[in-house]
Chains A and B, each alone.
Chain A
Amino acid sequence: MPTIEFQLNGTATAVDADPDQALLDVLRGRLGVTGPHFGCGAGECGACHVMVDDRAIASCDMPMWSVAGKDVVTVEGLGTAEQPHPLQRAFISEQAMQCGYCVSGILISAAALLMHNPSPTEAEVRAALDRNLCRCGSHNRMVRAVLRAASQMATS
């Protein structure tokens, strides 16, 4: 199996992997990074979203060969309890979830949006999150949280 090298949450990472294996499998399996969640395996729900070179993508159908040399960021790379990302703080402030299974993917989609568009409108937030499914109906809280984080990032 070839060695595939990429940046994972800012750390140089090398794994021996089948080039066709999905990034999500490698993250959750060998690398023990369980923030990205399996939801459908077909890129239809967004629970497995990670950022690859600043874009939110579904890691469940992204083959390892396409990650070589790229910069991969999972929810673990956004922030920690000690140093939270503004989005993480805002999701707590807005209590923006019920079960929370979809949240790690949604945080990634939102983070990618704010990198490209630091002050999005509500409609732009909704459009950016439209590939992420939430079954509990916490959408509006999450949209409020993203807008809150954007305004905090603008003033800080």
Chain B
Amino acid sequence: MMTPPPAPKLPISLTANPRLSSWVRFTGEGRVAISPGKVEIGQGIVTALAQIAADELEVDMSRIEMIRASTATSPNEGVTSGSLSIQQSGRALRHVCAEVRQRFLVAASERLGVDAARLEVNDGMISGPGNVRTSYWELAGDVSLDHDATAGAIAKSAVKRAVAGHSVERIDIPDKVFARPRFIHDAALPGLLHGRVLRPDISGARLVALDEDAARAIPGLVAIARDGGFAGVVSDSEAAAEAALNALRKRATWSGGEPLPDEDDLAGFLRCQPAQTTIIDTRTTAATRQHARTLRRQYTRPYIAHASIAPSCAIAQWDGDRIHVWTHSQGVYLLRTDLAIVLKLPAENIVVEHVEGAGCYGHNAADDVALDAVLLAKAASGRQVRVQWSRHDEMSHAPFGAAMAIEIEADLDEDNEIIGWRHAIWSNGHAARPGRAAQPALLGATEIANPYPRMISTNPPAANGGGGDRNSVPLYDLPAWTITSHRLLTMPVRTSALRTLGAQGNVFAIESLLDEIAALRGEDPIAFRLRHLRDERAKDVIRAAARRAAWKPQRRSGTGHGVGFARYKNTGAYCAAIAEIEGTDEIRVKRLTLAIDVGETINPDGVVNQIEGGAIQATSWVLKERVRFDGTRITSTSWTDYPILTFTEVPAVDVEIIQRPEVEPVGAGEAAHGPVTAAIANAVHDCLGVRVRDLPITRDRIIAAMELAS
């Protein structure tokens, strides 16, 4: 007997938010409102989602209005992170729009007396034989979208898509070029007040006494807000708020603090902390080859700052016991959950609405500043209060990407073929986002009277791509492995999600050691990788990058080439990178050549933009970035102390997309970081003959590696 085919399933975001009308509405004047739960963070997602909707509804892009996420109206799609927006929101919208089109075709068929199969839609106009016609907008009164999505709707086949798959111009860019207010920072609201929050220099210190007199004498002051160790000012202008804050700071008394680790011995610190140990994966195969030697290598990456160009900002307003919050948080519902815990109010009393901020690259201070604004607005008698962090606080009080120590032991046989592989990670968790635990994750919650403890970061489950362990299971066909994660249970340096979570560190480690083993065998590193891969899509991106970079270019003195590869989360985008560098002790990355496979490409130029940006940001991480601290405080609090790659240092970046329109699309935002990191490190070895296993790869690190080697 044949098994029946499995029942078709709804996309995950649609299972959680099945009501069609929460995603799509036809509005007056021939417009379509599309309301995703994901938010624009500079990645171009609203344009890609508009493309998908335009295609399935068969309307022109110009008719589509993308609605900003709000807890008042939008589907709850959790957080905009993990390169999942195309997978989650895109699939949901494609399904919803396909179903909406079908419902309208049925209604049109009844009205026009023409079989639905003979009707077609062209820019929202529905027409059929005999010149009969109507439109979505004419029928909108007859067709209720207050129905739940059903599993049967069938989206267009890949070949029939006219918009998705093409590079269209992003809909947010004209505003940004012509300086029309779009960022929350630029919101011009009448009567807006400005707030600033007092934060300690000493890490973890608590405010114990405050003389407010001097601040009260500053013109423009509206209120000083105090709640336990939380203190801030509200004034009628930004300058007045800054002046009042400075006055407060001079008269503040702090106590306590939490010692910080030795920044020059991160591995020593990470490896001796109490930790939760998890076996992530094991593989065993009956040994057929003789063990000859074991290579044991340790790799580290430092704490990395999100270092958004804009300091975090939020606006809040109280109306009785109801609150409205404007935020550039990546998760409006999750932020609302935490605000409700802190304020001891029902979540329904709080509306959290997204407004664009600068690129955040993960969990920065966006959520923290929203609570700050709420706490300050409480003292502002119902007026709107805008709070903006200082550059100093953005670089010292926002969560960082977690430092990692990774040790790999590779068992080799006589021919230096890999017969065993043990990969261990010591790191804080890579996620302490709001809205997911019984306690809030917001900074202000640790400062108020009856404070909550600082949330210790955890790792998302392996099914969601893991955290510190992300990309730690090799995609290569090795005969045996054990992957172990040690998640720290202490957290003197605050960490949470930074682009790729642990993937950058793990791919750096795996790809560096593979390179070393290939070299030991005298085998070309690309041939070595291809020989250990079974996945044809993986091999294709490596071959494409190699072809494009004319691998392997002839060796010239003072230059080097290296390769890196990963499939993000082992389930997402495939990406291979080849780096060309030059230098003797100071490294310059000249060119990065990448090949990427995201399955179906919704907006090819958008994918290229994400890969270029990811490659350049990764280059900055690898060559320059490291959060600095002494025993008591974060010291890298300015762009001078935390330099990032500049225009004259940026490499040329060349990207090839392998198009697979028939394969479900995945995100591109985080695919490049791991491969680029490894490619640069491997190129450094090719150029200088030393392996630098501690990021960032600076002049000092290279000299140290050379001294070790000699």
Query: Measuring CB to CB, which residues of chain A are less than 8 angstroms from any residue of chain B?
Result: 21-22, 25, 28-30, 32, 34-35, 37-42, 44-45, 47, 74-76, 79-81, 84, 88, 91-92, 95, 97-104, 107, 123, 125-127, 129-130, 132-143
Q: Which residue of B has the minimal Cβ distance to A18?
A: B239
A125 to B647, CA, bound (A): 9
Q: Which residue of B has the minimal Cβ distance to A60?
A: B391
On whether the beta carbons of B311 and A38 are closer than 8 Å, the reply is yes
Chain B positions within 8 Å of A133 at CB level = 309, 639, 644, 646
A47 to B356, CA, bound (A): 16
Q: How far is the CB of A41 from chain B (nearest CB, A)?
A: 6
Q: How far is the CB of A97 from chain B (nearest CB, A)?
A: 6
B158 lies within 8 A of chain A by Cβ? no
B659 lies within 8 A of chain A by Cβ? no
On whether the beta carbons of A140 and B44 are closer than 8 Å, the reply is no
Q: How many B residues are at the interface, by size bracket?
A: 35 or more
Known: A39-B391, A101-B309, A140-B616. 15 other contacts (CB 8 A): A30-B237, A34-B185, A41-B390, A41-B391, A44-B640, A45-B639, A76-B179, A81-B174, A92-B169, A95-B173, A101-B357, A136-B42, A136-B617, A139-B616, A143-B647
- Which B602-648 residues have a C-beta within 8 angstroms of A? 605, 609-610, 612-617, 620, 638-640, 644, 646-648
A75 to B390, CA, bound (A): 23
On whether the beta carbons of B613 and A98 are closer than 8 Å, the reply is yes
Q: How far is the CB of B309 from chain A (nearest CB, A)?
A: 5
Chain A positions within 8 Å of B309 at CB level = 37, 39, 45, 47, 99, 101-102, 133-135
A75 to B42, CA, bound (A): 20
Q: Which residue of A has the minimal Cβ distance to B611?
A: A137
Chain B positions within 8 Å of A39 at CB level = 309-311, 391
* Contact for A34 among B181, B605, B617, CB less than 8 A: B181
Chain B positions within 8 Å of A74 at CB level = 179
A-B contact pairs, 19 of them (CB 8 A): A34-B186, A37-B186, A44-B638, A44-B640, A47-B309, A81-B178, A84-B177, A88-B178, A98-B42, A99-B356, A100-B176, A100-B177, A126-B648, A130-B646, A132-B647, A133-B309, A136-B359, A139-B616, A140-B612
B183 lies within 8 A of chain A by Cβ? yes
B652 lies within 8 A of chain A by Cβ? yes
Q: How far is the CB of B310 from chain A (nearest CB, A)?
A: 5
Q: How far is the CB of A145 from chain B (nearest CB, A)?
A: 10
Q: How far is the CB of A55 from chain B (nearest CB, A)?
A: 18
With contacts A25-B238, A139-B616 known, is A98 near B43, CB below 8 A? yes
- Residue-wise, chain B 21-53 has the 8 Å CB interface mask toward A (1 for contact) of 000000000000000000001111000000000
Chain B positions within 8 Å of A100 at CB level = 42, 172-173, 176-177, 182
A39 to B313, CA, bound (A): 11
With contacts A28-B238, A38-B311, A101-B310 known, is A135 near B648, CB below 8 A? no
B379 lies within 8 A of chain A by Cβ? no
On whether the beta carbons of B177 and A92 are closer than 8 Å, the reply is yes
Chain A positions within 8 Å of B176 at CB level = 97, 100, 103-104
On whether the beta carbons of B605 and A95 are closer than 8 Å, the reply is yes
Q: How far is the CB of B223 from chain A (nearest CB, A)?
A: 19
Chain A positions within 8 Å of B347 at CB level = none
A92 to B638, CA, bound (A): 31
On whether the beta carbons of B617 and A135 are closer than 8 Å, the reply is yes
Q: Secondary structure at chain B's binding surface: helix, strand, loop or mixed?
A: loop
Q: How far is the CB of A90 from chain B (nearest CB, A)?
A: 9
On whether the beta carbons of A80 and B178 are closer than 8 Å, the reply is yes
B286 lies within 8 A of chain A by Cβ? no
Residue of A39, A44, A125, A127 with most chain B CB atoms under a 10 A cut-off: A39
A21 to B359, CA, bound (A): 29
A103 to B176, CA, bound (A): 7
On whether the beta carbons of A92 and B173 are closer than 8 Å, the reply is yes
On whether the beta carbons of B173 and A97 are closer than 8 Å, the reply is yes
A28 to B172, CA, bound (A): 22
Chain A positions within 8 Å of B359 at CB level = 98-99, 101, 135-136
Q: Which residue of B has the minimal Cβ distance to A75?
A: B179
Q: How far is the CB of A116 from chain B (nearest CB, A)?
A: 17
Chain B positions within 8 Å of A102 at CB level = 309, 358
Q: How far is the CB of B678 from chain A (nearest CB, A)?
A: 18
Q: Which residue of A has the minimal Cβ distance to B652?
A: A140
Residue of A30, A37, A123, A132 with most chain B CB atoms under a 10 A cut-off: A37
B308 lies within 8 A of chain A by Cβ? yes
Residue of A47, A80, A98 with most chain B CB atoms under a 10 A cut-off: A98
Q: How far is the CB of A72 from chain B (nearest CB, A)?
A: 14
Chain A positions within 8 Å of B41 at CB level = 99
A98 to B356, CA, bound (A): 12
In order of increasing CB-CB distance, the 9 nearest A-B pairs are A99-B42, A137-B616, A35-B179, A100-B176, A137-B613, A101-B358, A99-B359, A34-B186, A98-B42
Q: How far is the CB of A120 from chain B (nearest CB, A)?
A: 12
On whether the beta carbons of B391 and A34 are closer than 8 Å, the reply is no
On whether the beta carbons of A32 and B188 are closer than 8 Å, the reply is yes
- Which B130-172 residues have a C-beta within 8 angstroms of A? 169-170, 172
On whether the beta carbons of A98 and B609 are closer than 8 Å, the reply is yes
Chain A positions within 8 Å of B573 at CB level = none
On whether the beta carbons of B609 and A95 are closer than 8 Å, the reply is yes
- Which B388-410 residues have a C-beta within 8 angstroms of A? 388, 390-391
- Residue-wise, chain B 180-217 has the 8 Å CB interface mask toward A (1 for contact) of 01110110100000000000000000000000000000
- Which B259-311 residues have a C-beta within 8 angstroms of A? 307-311
Chain A positions within 8 Å of B42 at CB level = 97-101, 136
A97 to B181, CA, bound (A): 16
On whether the beta carbons of B310 and A130 are closer than 8 Å, the reply is no
Chain A positions within 8 Å of B230 at CB level = none
On whether the beta carbons of B613 and A138 are closer than 8 Å, the reply is yes
* Contact for B238 among A29, A80, A143, CB less than 8 A: A29
Chain A positions within 8 Å of B614 at CB level = 137
* Contact for B183 among A101, A135, A143, CB less than 8 A: A101
B650 lies within 8 A of chain A by Cβ? yes
Q: Which residue of B has the minimal Cβ distance to A29?
A: B237
A45 to B391, CA, bound (A): 10
A9 to B681, CA, bound (A): 48
B84 lies within 8 A of chain A by Cβ? no
On whether the beta carbons of A37 and B613 are closer than 8 Å, the reply is no
On whether the beta carbons of A38 and B179 are closer than 8 Å, the reply is no
Q: Which residue of B has the minimal Cβ distance to A82?
A: B178
Residue of B42, B43, B174, B638 with most chain A CB atoms under a 10 A cut-off: B42
Q: How far is the CB of A75 from chain B (nearest CB, A)?
A: 5
Chain A positions within 8 Å of B568 at CB level = none
A134 to B356, CA, bound (A): 17
* Contact for A99 among B174, B358, B390, B605, CB less than 8 A: B358
With contacts A34-B181, A101-B358, A140-B653 known, is A135 near B307, CB below 8 A? yes
* Contact for A137 among B172, B239, B391, B617, CB less than 8 A: B617
Chain A positions within 8 Å of B508 at CB level = none
Q: How far is the CB of A140 from chain B (nearest CB, A)?
A: 6
Chain B positions within 8 Å of A22 at CB level = 239
Chain A positions within 8 Å of B648 at CB level = 123, 126-127, 130
On whether the beta carbons of A137 and B358 are closer than 8 Å, the reply is no
Chain A positions within 8 Å of B183 at CB level = 37, 101
Chain A positions within 8 Å of B644 at CB level = 133, 135
